[in-house]
Amino acid sequence: MKSKIAITSLASLSPLGNTPQEIWARYQSPETRITTKTFQGKNQWVACIPAVLRRELEALRREDIKYKSLDETVLMAILTSRQAIQKAGWQAGDDFGVNIGSSRGATQLFEKHHQEFLETGKTATLTSPTTTLGNISSWVAHDLKSQGPEISHSITCSTALHAVLNAAAWLQSGMATKFLVGGSEAPLTPFTLAQMQALKIYATPQDPQSESNPYPCRAFDLTKTKNAMVLGEGAAMACLELGEKEHALGYITGIGFATDDLEHNISISEEAKCFQKSMQMALNDTPPETVDAIVMHAPGTLKGDTSEYKAIQKVFGHTLPMLTTNKWKIGHTFGASGMLNMELALLMMEHNTFIGVPFAESQPVRQTINRVLINAVGFGGNAVSILLSRN
């Protein structure tokens, strides 16, 4: 990178809440935010946003007649984007770019309209425009009256971090000075859950949740013998600006990306070569021993967790950074997950406190957290690694 990029704000909406105080308090608690919810008569493990935030989404839907027909992915993106630019000191109507993606897009609306089509042979007038992926960034740009470019994309679970990569290219090129980036995902629908179960990677409701095993999602449990992924919902947005800024939360000092040679339709290579390449690219000339922590992708699947861990061992050798993931607590939010990883990294640097996985093996604790690497990867082996620094 020619110049580091300042993260001047980050706003989120997730099972942890939506204020920095409650999010940090819930990260410090060993309790998971995963609960059971009934879908088509069956109990499933999921991580839902709090009821108070659901009411905020419904209030937003009633705020403007044009918002009445929008999917929750769009509504969550609008709410978090408003909060992000306010924190950064940006104004509605400013010249900034928008790049917000989603792995699944308007999942809830698509399933609703498709069911209506099966029953009636017809679709509602707004079916097409409200289920296209591009409507996330375009509605956010409309709501904020932004003057810059509007970009939407879907690169599976690494979507949000690919938005960061794209924004970095615009900022480094001089074609923009500010960019709003992020991801939004509302995947808690019967069809989406059925897809994950068909892949045999989902935690089953029959798995006992007891005092000895209170965590349905066993993300970064390298001793587990079966897959234990759980889905969550949420959105997170960050404001990026080129160069040093007095009010920066942290800085992007390295970016890396790579695509794996697929050995299977849904999994990455045994030693996650894509992660090895993306992490090495993000590090560039940064000594590996100066990286204090890594927020792993670690979705809770057998192959996903172990392959990423092997890749980290290949890159960092015997002296590993502190390793963590947040999916045991908030589930896997697909396209939004990378930005929620960034949030955890920034909070750990701000409070100089490591948030580990309660059931993972103990690790040597470092006294300071000045550099954190974050990872994300999705179907197709599209890995992204981003190096964050305190200053």
Domains of the chain: 5-242 (3.40.47.10), 250-389 (3.40.47.10)
Q: Give how far Cα 229 sits from Cα of 108, 225, 338, 368, Å.
A: 21, 13, 16, 31
- Tell me which amino acid residue 381 is: G
Q: What is the H or E stretch that residue 24 is in? A: helix 20-28
DSSP class of residue 49 equals: P
Q: How confident is the model at residue 209 (pLDDT cuts 50, 70, 90)?
A: low
Q: Report whether pLDDT(211) > 80.
A: no
Per the DSSP assignment, residues forming a β-bridge with 251 are: 6, 389
Looking up tokens 């794996």 gives 260
Cα dihedral across residues 212, 214, 219, 220: positive or negative: negative
**How many angstroms separate the CA atoms of 18 and 330, rounded?**
13
Residue holding tokens 């690494």? 158
Tell me if residue 309 falls in helix, strand or coil: helix
More confident residue, 92 or 222: 222
Between the two ends of the chain, the Cα-to-Cα distance in Å is 15
Residue range 86-123, pLDDT digits in tens: 999 999 889 999 999 999 999 999 999 999 999 999 99
In whole angstroms, what is the distance from residue 17 CA to residue 25 CA?
A: 10
Calpha distance 32→29 (Å, rounded): 8
Q: Is pLDDT at 210 greater than 80 in this prediction?
A: no
Q: Which of 97, 45, 28, 8 is nearest to 219 (CA)?
A: 45
- Three-class HEC string of 158-211: CHHHHHHHHHHHHHHHCCCCEEEEEEEECCCCHHHHHHHHHCCCECCCCCCCEC
Alpha-carbon dihedral sign for residues 170, 101, 8, 293: negative
Nearest to 374 by CA among 291, 263, 258: 291
Task: Region of 26 please: left (phi>0), alpha (psi -120 to 50) or beta.
Answer: alpha
Q: Which of 218, 246, 238 is nearest to 328 (CA)?
A: 218
CA–CA gap between residue 210 and residue 128 (Å, rounded)? 45
Task: Please say if the pLDDT value at position 205 is more than 80.
Answer: no
* Mean pLDDT over each residue of the chain, to the nearest integer: 94
The per-residue pLDDT for 268 is: 75
What's 67's DSSP letter? Answer: G
Tally Cβ neighbours within 10 Å of residue 117: 13
**Contact (Cβ atoms closer than 8 angstroms) between residue 348 and residue 318:** no
Percent of the chain with pLDDT over 70: 96
Closest CA to 266 of 333, 218, 201: 201
Instruction: Break the chain down into helix, strand, coil percent, rounded to 5.
Output: 35, 20, 40
DSSP character for 226?
S
From the CB of residue 231, how many other CB atoms can be counted at a distance below 10 Å?
26
Angle at 153 between CA 170 and CA 58, to 5 degrees: 110
Q: Find out whether 111 and 59 touch, Cβ atoms under 8 Å.
A: no
Q: Is the dihedral of CA 262, 263, 264, 270 positive or negative?
A: negative
For 119-142, the pLDDT digits (tens) are 999 999 999 999 988 889 999 999
Gap between the Cα atoms of 30 and 47, Å rounded = 15
Q: Does pLDDT of 265 surpass 70?
A: no
Q: Residue 327: which of 42, 14, 73 has the closest Cα?
A: 14
Q: Which amino acid is at 204?
A: T
pLDDT per position as a tens digit, 333-346: 999 999 999 999 99
How do residues 38-82 score in pLDDT, each as one tens digit?
Answer: 999 989 999 999 999 999 999 999 999 999 999 999 999 999 999
Confidence of residue 260 (pLDDT cuts 50, 70, 90): confident
Nearest partner of 267 among 241, 234, 229, judged by Cα: 229
What's the pTM? 0.96
pLDDT band at 267 (very low <50, low <70, confident <90, very high): low
